[in-house]
Structure 1
Amino acid sequence: MAIRQNTFGQKNGQDITRYTLTNDKGFQVSCLDYGCIITEILTPDQNGLLENVVLGFDTWEEYGSNPHYFGAVVGRFAGRIQEGAFTIEGTDYQLARNSNGQHLHGGPGGFHSVVWKAEAIETENESIIEFTHFSPDGEEGFPGNLTMTVRYVVKHDENQLAISYFAKSDKTTLLNITNHSYFNLSGDFKRTILDHQLTIPSNHYAELNGDMLPTGNLILAEEDRLFDFRNGSTLREGVDSQHPQIKLVGGGYDHPFLLDKEAQPVIELKDLESGRGLRVETTEPAVVLYTANHIGGPYSFKSVAAQNQLGLCLETQGMPDSVHHPHFPSAILRAQETFESRTVYKFT
């Protein structure tokens, strides 16, 4: 087991470092101290072939803008907030309106775009990269001096990545954080994710309006077959459909699903051709399924041209715009309380 590190680039004269964690089976995770970006995850297929299963770039310059948040930790608030405005404890706050008049993913100066302090830690059974960031009161409009810690943990004998989040603020604030990796289990992006099989233990998904915000309506999965992933289904039928919610978000999924906590939720993704599987366990109340509906562009991932549906995000988090929907799980972090969250990605 080893942790390697090398200089990946520079931002405003500050070195960007890449860390690579490799376990005893050859499973490998590479990440940056810029945005806590996961650049690569190498995991074996059914024949033991190690290939990359997350979209990422080879050079710092390609990450310079990163408009689609590839591999990054996003916050303080993952998802959208209506008009970037909210009220907490009688005080009104205004955030950046960086997505068609709405606030998205913490704003342009959010967690995805800062250099985090990083420490490499080796224990008897694990390799850990611990990232920390101090977000001052008023950063991107959010209240409170917030101290944020993110830990990436790879076990020596298991092909899994565990991500733990810890935070504390001196003022009551909003906090909703996730990792924005795009998974493709085919290996080195040989195929799109349309024929991946996905299982989400969710009885309800959130209906969206034309601004990509939840309307507040939670729709029963059993009443909408294309949003019912409880027993596993491929993504192709939904993406190819004319379902109004799927057309609304650009021909795919970009929807929050409330997880069934009583079922001890495990999200499962499978690519039958490669034999790879991914099991996602989380303490979060929801997952946003995003099928990369808008990532096609004049760039490539290694030698593979970017195209829509080349990956999918499973953003374990709270509900978007929850501050405006009291029946959603709350994303309010009270002053001096400790926020903790954990998501584990197990590759099979």
Structure 2
Amino acid sequence: MNVIKRLLVVPVVLGMAFTAVNCKNDTKKDETAVVEEMPEASITKSDFGMFQDSIPVAKYALVNANGMQVDIITYGGIITSLKAPSKDSTFQDVVLGFDSLDKYVEGSPYFGAIIGRYGNRIAKGTFELEGQTYQLPVNDGENSLHGGTAGFDKVVWNAEEVKDGDNVGLKLTYLSPDGDMGYPGNLETTVTYTLQADNTLMVKYEATTDKPTVVNLTQHSYFNLSGDFDKTILDTEVMINADQYLPVDAGLIPTGELRPVAGTPFDFNTPKKIGTEINAEDDQLKKGLGYDHCWILNGNGGEMTLAATALDPESGRFMEIMTTEPAIQFYTGNFLDGTLTQKDGEGTYAYRSGFCLETQHYPDSPNQADFPSTVLKPGEKYETTTSFKFSVRE
């Protein structure tokens, strides 16, 4: 377990001067306190391996003046590590992931990745747009999940460092060609991560196309705010600002109904532990094997709105999520099974050892006319923003 504890170091330098006057020793003590200055925000680049034996992958460490650090690799735009403070000022990594490129390539459950072109599921991997039917790769039963077999999580992005005063960031760009994973149009995509001075990680998504297409981008970090990946996330207290959610069928495709959360295990308007009702006798929980559903956010008209919060009571780590998106997918690590090795190589990621809160549009929107549209046309610009703010609650 990687633990970093920041200490304010105050070394004291004592200067002693001795003078003999009338056979007495007059000792004068000069004390000067030297306080270590807090470091400036910084970006550090390093190598993270070679993709397909020929494409270099870089890692960028974004560090703010408080000591919060976010590591991002150009493969998949993946957040490999995020060190946030606890109430005793201990910085620990709070996102699941791997310590080598090979492990991400060999079989990652989307740990920390940028998801696209379409986050979440599209029924039977097909949709119709302007009279033409498009077939996508099927990689989740009979459905297409997270952009198909080689979505944005499995490509190498171009990277540009961004620094603005106390804020440091990484601008990632990728051109998804016409027909990529079955989607129409050349899609120019930009995702910018910015670590701010107040311990907020901003994620801004932008895209343009030369043909009508569908787009739904998101970020797929698995969080464990305890900083101890051997623990489950069942004691984490979660709030989701939503009065409705989308019930799903056996394939986890929304039925089209917008169901009230009141009186159900899906009501998180008041913070409660993830484990409180996760094993309740509920048909929807059985279909998801726990929570793996989309909540419809309250009062979101495209402005930054509070979507969710999460608190680890023991460490005091508190995360607030704001977004311009209309919905959020809450997933509780139901398919983690202990077969994936932790970053330190000493343990595995067990059942429900991480949770995801993925801001997005609704799943299967291209096939459901009553859902908000995810169509992007030439001349338009796709723009959404989500922020993750980390603080401490006593």
Q: TM-score, normalised by structure 1?
A: 0.97
Matched AA of 1:247: K
User: Deviation of residue 192 (structure 1)?
Assistant: 1.1
Judge conservation of contact 1:193–1:312 (CA < 8 Å) in 2.
yes
Task: Determine the structure 1 residue equivalent to 2:231.
Answer: 191
Extract structure 1 runs of 4+ deviating beyond 3 A. none
Confirm whether residue 173 of structure 1 aligns to residue 185 of structure 2. Answer: no
Alignment of 1:220-235 (within 5 A): 220-224=260-264, 226-235=265-274
Look up the match of 2:293.
255
Indicate conservation of the 8 Å contact 2:230/2:349, yes or no: no
Match of 2:66 among 10, 20, 25: 25
Cα distance, 1:138 vs structure 2: 0.4
Aligned letter for 2:374?
A: A
CA contact (8 A) 1:171 1:336 kept: no
Q: d(CA) in 2 for partners of 1:41 and 1:124?
A: 21
1:256/1:288 contact within 8 Å kept: yes
Cross-structure match for 2:357:
314
**Contact residue 306 and residue 320 of structure 2 kept, 8 A:** no
Aligned positions, number: 345
Match of 1:341 in 2: 384
SS in 2 for 1:245: helix
Work out whether 1:45 is the aligned partner of 2:96. Answer: no
CA contact (8 A) 1:145 1:170 kept: yes
Amino acid at match of 1:169: T
> 1:172 corresponds to which letter in structure 2?
P
Q: Unpaired runs of 5+ in structure 2?
A: 1-40
2:370 to 287, 307, 327: 327
Q: Is the 8 A contact 2:178 2:185 kept in 1?
A: yes
For residue 178 of structure 1, what is the amino acid of its counterpart?
A: T
Q: 1:294 is matched with which residue: 332, 335, 339?
A: 335
1:262: Cα distance to partner? 5.3
Aligned to 1:208: 248
Whether 2:203 is the aligned partner of 1:160: answer no
Match of 1:6 among 43, 46, 51: 46
Residue in structure 1 matched with residue 277 of structure 2 by the alignment:
238
RMSD: 1.2
Identity of aligned residues (%): 39
In the TM superposition, what whole-angstrom CA distance separates every residue of 1:318-340 from its partner, at most 9, and x where no partner exists? 00001122221111112220000
**Separation in 2 of the partners of 1:45 and 1:9?**
32
Could you list the per-position Cα deviations for residues 22-69 of structure 1 after superposition, in whole angstroms to 9, with x for gaps in the alignment? 110100000100000000000110000000010011111211133410
Tell me whether 1:131 sits opposite 2:172 in the alignment: yes
Mapped to 2, the partners of 1:218 and 1:168 lie a distance apart of: 30
Return 232-241 or 8-17, whichever deviates more: 232-241
TM-score (norm 2): 0.86
Instruction: Give CA-to-partner distance per residue, 1:153-179, whole Å, 9 cap, x none.
Output: 011x21111000000001110000100
SS of aligned partner of 1:101: coil
Q: Which runs of 5+ in 1 are unaligned?
A: none
Deviations 1:234-270 (A, max 9, x none): 11122222322111122x1000000002593341100
Amino acid at match of 2:334: N
- Counterpart of 2:312 (choices 247, 271, 283) is 271
